[in-house]
Structure 1
Amino acid sequence: MPVIAVALLMFLLALRIWILEPMVVESNSMTPTINPGTIVFILKPAQALSSISTGGLVVFDSPTDGLPMIKRVVGQAGQTIEIRDAQLYLDDVPALEPYVDRASIDGTYFPQTQVPPGTVFVMGDNRERSIDSRDFGLLPVEDITGFVLHAGQQ
Structure 2
Amino acid sequence: MYSIQGNSMYPTLEHGSVVFVWKGGFAISAKFFGTELLYTDPKINKLDLVLFVSKEDELVVKRVIGLPGEFYSIEAGRVLIDSTELLENYLPQGTYTSEPSTSIFLNRHNSPFLAMDKQGRIPPGYYLLLGDNRQYSTDSRSFGLVPVEKIKGKVIFYF
TM-score (norm. length: structure 2): 0.74
Higher helix share: 1
- Structure 1 Cα separation of the partners of residues 144 and 95 of structure 2: 22
Conserved 8 A contact 1:58-1:70: yes
2:15 is aligned, of 25, 36, 42, to 36
TM-score (norm. length: structure 1): 0.76
SS at match of 2:10: coil
Amino acid at match of 2:53: D
Give a deviation string over 1:93-118, Cα, whole Å, max 9, x none.
Answer: 00110222363537x33511210001
Q: Which residue number corresponds to residue 66 of structure 2?
A: 75
SS at match of 2:72: strand
RMSD: 1.9
Amino acid at match of 1:46: G
Identity of aligned residues (%): 35
Pairing 1:107-118 to 2, within 5 Å after superposition: 108-110=98-100, 111-118=118-125
Conserved 8 A contact 1:43-1:147: yes
Residue 122 of structure 1, CA deviation: 0.5
- Structure 2 Cα separation of the partners of residues 29 and 73 of structure 1: 14
Q: Which residue number corresponds to residue 101 of structure 1?
A: 92
The count of corresponding residues between Structure 1 and Structure 2 is 129
Alignment partner of 1:149 is 2:147: no
Residue 30 of structure 1, CA deviation: 0.5
Q: Which runs of 4+ in 1 moved over 6 A?
A: none
Conserved 8 A contact 1:33-1:151: no
Residue 136 of structure 1, CA deviation: 0.8
2:83 is aligned, of 75, 92, 95, to 92
Gaps of 5+ in 2: 27-39, 101-117
Q: Highest relative contact order (Cα 8 Å, sep 6+), 1 or 2?
A: 2
